[in-house]
Structure 1
Amino acid sequence: MRVHIKRAIERHALADYPREACGLIVADGNKQRYVPCRNIADDGADFHLPAADFVAAEEVGRVLAVVHSHVDQDAQPSEADLVSCEATALPWHIVAVGQDAGDEAPSVRGWHSFKPTGYVAPLVGRSFHHGSLDCYGLIRDFYQRELDIELLDFERPDDWWSKPESGELYLENFEKAGFVQVTDGPRYGDVILMQYRSERTNHGGVYLGDQPLKAEPYLYPVPNAMLHHAMPRLSERVVYAGYWQDITRMIVRYQQ
């Protein structure tokens, strides 16, 4: 990375502390530039680079890399970083910034750069990251890996279930994604829609029954299983009974 770009990124990261900073490196003719972007994540310890900023950067030049900061931690990529790097098909750079008690100002603690290598998060045991590694992200990955079906993705604002203006994302979009409500389920592959610690239908899982995961055959069997990813837990298979049945509001089935 060119020195002037590295210094521009560090200045941005330090200025935005304690929120994560994010931006893009672009090729502007035969030169490279760092384009600072907005972080619109509700939680400043995370980042969400808006699509409009990416489009604006593309008007400057070809996007070469994605950059963001880590706040009060090291620069090693999280599981969500690795997955998002694959999705962008671009190199990523992380700068770590932090401030200890007694420090007058935050400082740069380290750097880490990486690029796509084909990484995929496991279906069971992945960490939670809303917008990618969340309950709908797990449903999409299950359908792609286990059933070879590519489901639509949907923008989902942070904490949407507590914001009336966001609507009912699951209830408003399951038909657009190719699903219909059923009353004879659940069957293998059906999506179970639930109200998880909310007054709204904000959570989804996939019914597995007694079938194993083809992508992860080494896992121990779970009878009458549901695959799901509830915040802030790791993704897991649970017995679909008791609490999970109690909070179920609808079962939907994919129609080709």
Structure 2
Amino acid sequence: MSGAYVFDDGCTARWRAAVEAHKAHAAADWPREACGLIDGGGMYHPCANIAEDPVRTFEIADTELAAIDGGRSAALLHSHTAIPQEGGPALPPLDAPSAADMRTQRDMAIPWGITLCLEGGASDPFWFGDPVPRPPLYGRSYRHGVDDCYSFIRDWHATVAGLTIPDFPRDLDWWEPEPGLPQQDLYREGFAAAGFARVERPDGPLPGDVFLCAVRAPVMNHGGVYLGDGLIGHHLMHQLSLRQPASVWRSKLRFFVRHRDLPDTWTPDTGRPDADAWKPDA
């Protein structure tokens, strides 16, 4: 597999002054979540968090949203803070976007940055959303909702097959059953909406087939892409994304889907600059 690397999407450097202003704002507002907007000139505008539970979430008034560049902000920053627990220590800040974060970022269609804030201060943000540059497919580190198994599937289709598939807002550990709530089954429920159809492969998968499986979960919660030559590409939780022999996962590779716009006769274009996205490691 490729070695680990640090990917810089460039957003923090581009908006460094705004990031520092937000970090000071987040430290001052702790334990409440701090939120603010970056305007087209790179200036940070702190906003009031009007959420009913400002320790666990945030909300910006429509009047404040409209006041920044006529409602056309360049980016949004907010903090995740430690969450108090009854009779025990506070949970650490969530190092991932929530489903609500993902949903609202998608609707706003601008980069979002999330800082992790403790009483002593805030971290540099991680950035997410389709306007944010993406890391190479292999060797990327894991962050749920930003760089996870479904993100890998989306990016593989965009990078290698030239197909755009939608993202789906999702909370961390969405596959874990919650008392009194229906079991979520996002892969099974969402693959058709993403443009995929189930395929049967008695002679084995074809390059571009997507496998879905369950990893220590009651529903399918992991997926990846069959690359050909006996290899799969995927991104398992808490690991780096990688190419791996499909035989390692043979016992789990039982459910295959394929994008409706990717014919069975499709083969990767070896002349593309991103051809390494599908080639086996040397």
TM-score normalized by structure 1? 0.63
Instruction: Determine the structure 2 residue equivalent to 1:202.
Output: 221
From 210, 224, 233, the equivalent of 1:227 is: 233
Does structure 1 conserve the Cα–Cα contact (< 8 Å) formed by 2:23 and 2:121? no
Instruction: Determine the structure 2 residue equivalent to 1:150.
Output: 164
String of CA shifts for 1:11-53, please: whole Å, max 9, x gaps. 5434434x8x4522266xxx974125599xxxx9xx9x77x75
How many residue pairs match? The answer is 209
Instruction: Determine the structure 1 residue equivalent to 2:77.
Output: 67
- The 2-side partners of 1:165 and 1:206 are apart by 29
Instruction: Determine the structure 2 residue equivalent to 1:58.
Output: 65
Please give the secondary structure, in 1, of the residue aligned with 2:158. Answer: helix
- The 2-side partners of 1:25 and 1:155 are apart by 22
- The 1-side partners of 2:139 and 2:192 are apart by 29
Instruction: Determine the structure 2 residue equivalent to 1:219.
Output: none
Higher relative contact order, structure no. (Cα contacts within 8 Å, ≥ 6 residues apart): 2
C-alpha displacement of 1:133? 0.7
The 5-angstrom pairing of residues 57-206 of structure 1 reads 58-61=65-68, 62=71, 63-69=73-79, 89-90=110-111, 106-108=119-121, 119-163=133-177, 165=182, 167-184=184-201, 185-206=204-225
Residue 159 and residue 182 in structure 1: after superposition, are their counterparts in 2 closer, same or farther (change >3 A)?
same
**Residue identity (%):** 28
- The 2-side partners of 1:255 and 1:130 are apart by 26
Letter in 2 for 1:138: F
Gaps of 5+ in 1: 73-77, 99-105, 211-223
Instruction: Determine the structure 2 residue equivalent to 1:245.
Output: 250
The 5-angstrom pairing of residues 14-33 of structure 1 reads 14-17=28-31, 21-25=33-37, 33=45
The 5-angstrom pairing of residues 29-44 of structure 1 reads 33-37=45-49
- The 1-side partners of 2:139 and 2:243 are apart by 9
Does structure 1 conserve the Cα–Cα contact (< 8 Å) formed by 2:23 and 2:124? no
Residue 112 and residue 140 in structure 1: after superposition, are their counterparts in 2 closer, same or farther (change >3 A)?
closer
- The 1-side partners of 2:121 and 2:200 are apart by 56
Gaps of 5+ in 2: 1-14, 83-94, 262-282
Please give the secondary structure, in 2, of the residue aligned with 1:246. Answer: coil
